[in-house]
Amino acid sequence: MQMRTLGNSGLKVSALGFGCMGLNFAYGKAMEKPDAIRLLRQAVEAGVSFFDTAEAYGPFTNEELVGEALAPVRDQVVIATKFGFRDGRSATGLDSRPARIREVAEASLRRLRTDHIDLFYQHRVDPAVPMEEVAGAVRELIGEGKVRHFGLSEAGVASIRRAHAVQPVTALQSEYSLWWREPENDVLPACEELGIGFVPFSPLGRGFLTGKIDADTPFAKDDFRSSVPRFSPEARQANQALIDLLGRIAAGKGATPAQIALAWLLAQKPWIVPIPGTTRLPRLKENLGAVDIRLGAEELRQIRDSLDHIQVQGDRYPAHLSAQVGR
């Protein structure tokens, strides 16, 4: 497995991480716990060293799962988790008060069965709490050795700069993929300027970029995608042009659409580390194969030119969640 460094922080991680949320949260039926633990340990054996969770996933149960799975190999992996929601539940609103940040850190340490959190993200910017106070609270935890690196998720450039001035931000985690390129406008340039790594979540478009989802694919009521405008049948049908593009490129490289989508992200910047998630070992192996795919300058130009002529349909979040991103 190739390694990458997140910005100027010195934090080295595998070129592809593992997004753990979908193991038991947001995408329908949860995996059986023994199966999920086995998959996470297989990921480590395959060279993955970067695992992403949050107290809000479950809530709480995803951290417990990750903690149990990775306890035997704790010194070999980097674990990222997040704070920022009231009572750890995204539906109850935001809460990044310093006292709450410390409370989350202590609870996450217990659930993760560790004495330190490698990367502690603010899950969403809280407009009720000055960013300087948030960064200051994490700085204190870093000084105590309970946290090693500070991160932000879905933050706008102004918030990133304010936080970074108090406590250097190691990584920004936001959605970025072939069907959501908005970070290219100002967030990625700011990360490059400030020496901040970038961690794309949903790098496979919540599964759509694998080519395994079409307009007729059903979603369970407890699958987050059932409420996402971009996953309406009409939007999926309209967005098929993007899958057709991926399929053509993949065929020419002897790869899969998912591998091309991940290889494209890896080719953008050397400090970008996608965190695809999966519940199946064959998909894990498929994703990791993207690390060995090289897209040349001409191929990247062709992809970009094609993307410029494809208008992706549908918002990426329901209206009530859209207001929480990009602050």
List, by residue number, the catalytic residues.
57
Helix axis angle for 33-45 and 281-288, nearest 10°, is 30
Question: In which order are the strands placed within the sheet that holds 197-201?
Answer: 18-19, 50-52, 78-83, 119-122, 150-153, 169-175, 197-201
- Report CA Rg, the chain: 19
